[in-house]
A and B are shown apart, each in its own frame.
Chain A
Amino acid sequence: MNVSDLPAPVERDANFNFAYLDERTKRMIRRAILKAVSIPGYQVPFGSREMPLPYGWGTGGIQVTASIIGPSDVLKVIDQGADDTVNAVNIRRFFQRTTAVEVTTRTTDATIIQTRHRIPETPLAAGQVLVYQVPLPEPLQKLEPREVETRSMHGLAEYGLMHVKLYEDIARFGHIATTYDYPVMVDGRYLMAPSPIPKFDNPKMHMCPALQLFGAGREKRIYAVPPWTKVESLAFDDHPFEVQRWSQPCAMCGDTGSFLDEVITDDAGGRMFVCSDTDHCLARRTADE
């Protein structure tokens, strides 16, 4: 899919303030973002607003993007790596309608990339901002449901519970069975949920030149990883962190190093593996021609 294949741009609707949110809300979110960048990995509470789409559809990411976006930005929106899935299409239209910014599908052309559950395969550059949509910002929540407790665990950097959980995986399955939303330590201090990206993408967060912002709308939290920050996936000396590998290349572009989705092609068990990142796959195919 090229930019020219995108649906015709939606007209800017002048009945909305620039980027939908009112100015006071944007200021509140902006102050939260600045504190989030200053305390990498710490979840800053913010007054999440009701958005014109339901929780779970990226309301946190949209509020973060709406607070940082300006008329000269170029926006890319992906949903599981794809530019043409329903969540991505809707969010892109929303920002066209409320800001009239230029949109793109090319990772290299974008200044802001809002993502649901993937980091693009193309390495990000300095000056770009990656905005994640986060359903569950608290990595410890499944182990300790009380927020008062998890907050004090973060305050004391007391993360033994998470190591026990990973150890129990090893005891039960022989390996760490967490494959997405794999917990990371940010700059050696805060335990952070990287949002449900596959653990394949975790290494891309480490010393990334781009700024990474995370927004959780329902849970009302914003957090950040500044550029050039150490992001370490939890592991044990005898069970080092490993990412997924596939036994076959992408059926469309032949890449052996990208994250592949399994696509069922018929009712007889036929299947193919293709790149989850549509822009990456297309760029490789057009480069071959």
Chain B
Amino acid sequence: MSAVVDLSRLAPGFAQPALDSQTVFRTCLDALADPGRVKHLAGGILESPPAGASPAAVAVLLALLDQDTPLWLGEGLRDGDVAAYLRFHTGCPIVRSPAEAGFALLAGGDEAASLSDFMQGSETFPDRSATLVVQCDGLSNTRDAMDGAGGWRLTGPGIREQAWLQVAGARADFPRQWASNRKCFPCGVDVFFASGLSLAGLPRTTRLEA
């Protein structure tokens, strides 16, 4: 983490901070209240997101992070433009250990950390747990295979009967990790998958069958 940031190379944040944060937050709220359903950002679209990050993922973090939210960055993001960009625009501290992070940004295939390495909350304060923004290669609500693997079947609060979600580029063992995360309820982490301008939310209440 370099101490000196070249401001001339730093990309701008939201064009309208108050309104753009609101639009992005509502998309996040909608994504968690309707788990798995792919949502598209209607506003808060960044003209030039930092290299290596999807515009949706960066927009979510710009909307939710500030000095109170330690951020952990996954493999390949730690030393790049993303870290400098988020530190400058949100003032968030960047931490080295997933266990200290309130938020995390990582690639879908990142094997440096498992869901259980992040802050889980406690029985008495389950809200003190991490929110993960996981970048992936594509999101779809179709049931049939997108890249060989079938979709995940989702059930739980927010879903009327069932929903299907396919995440291209997620870790192969994600369903197994998610099952242990679900078992910890009310503790556990919550996940946003982000790809391009699309988002899908997985609150810890959602049951997932691969």
A residues lining the B interface (CB < 8 Å):
17-19, 23-24, 26-28, 30-40, 42, 44-45, 67-71, 151-152, 154-156, 187, 189-190, 207, 209, 211, 226-230
What is the chain B residue whose CB lies nearest that of A31?
Answer: B64
How far does the Cβ of A191 sit from chain B's closest Cβ, in whole Å?
13
- Among A18, A28, A187, A227, contact of B22 (Cβ-Cβ < 8 Å): A18
Contact A227 B190 (CB under 8 A): no
A42/B186 contact (C-beta < 8 A), A18-B22, A37-B33, A70-B23 known:
yes
Contact B124 A68 (CB under 8 A): no
Residues of chain B in range 76-128 having any CB-CB distance to chain A below 8 Å: 122-127
Cα(A187)–Cα(B65), bound, Å = 30
What is the chain B residue whose CB lies nearest that of A70?
Answer: B22
Contact B123 A155 (CB under 8 A): yes
Cα(A45)–Cα(B121), bound, Å = 13
What is the chain B residue whose CB lies nearest that of A43?
Answer: B127
Cα(A155)–Cα(B186), bound, Å = 8
- Among B25, B33, B122, contact of A226 (Cβ-Cβ < 8 Å): B33
Contact A38 B26 (CB under 8 A): no
What are 27 A-B contacts with C-beta separation under 8 Å? A19-B18, A23-B18, A23-B21, A27-B65, A28-B68, A30-B29, A31-B69, A34-B64, A35-B127, A35-B190, A39-B186, A39-B203, A42-B126, A44-B127, A67-B25, A68-B22, A69-B22, A70-B22, A155-B123, A155-B124, A155-B186, A156-B123, A187-B157, A189-B186, A226-B158, A227-B160, A228-B160
Contact A34 B32 (CB under 8 A): yes
- Among B23, B28, B123, contact of A34 (Cβ-Cβ < 8 Å): B28
Total of A-B residue pairs, C-beta within 8 Å:
110
Cα(A142)–Cα(B30), bound, Å = 34
- Among A30, A35, A207, contact of B25 (Cβ-Cβ < 8 Å): A30
| Chain B contact residues: helix, strand, loop or mixed | loop
Contact B66 A71 (CB under 8 A): no
Residues of chain B in range 119-145 having any CB-CB distance to chain A below 8 Å: 122-127, 129, 131
Task: Tell me the count of chain B residues lying within 8 A, CB to CB, of chain A.
Answer: 37
Give every chain A residue within 8 A of B26 (Cβ-Cβ): 68, 70
Give every chain A residue within 8 A of B160 (Cβ-Cβ): 207, 209, 227-228
Cα(A156)–Cα(B111), bound, Å = 33
Given contacts A39-B126, A45-B127, A70-B22, 6 further A-B contacts (CB under 8 A): A18-B18, A19-B18, A27-B66, A30-B63, A34-B64, A36-B127
- Among B21, B29, B203, contact of A26 (Cβ-Cβ < 8 Å): B21
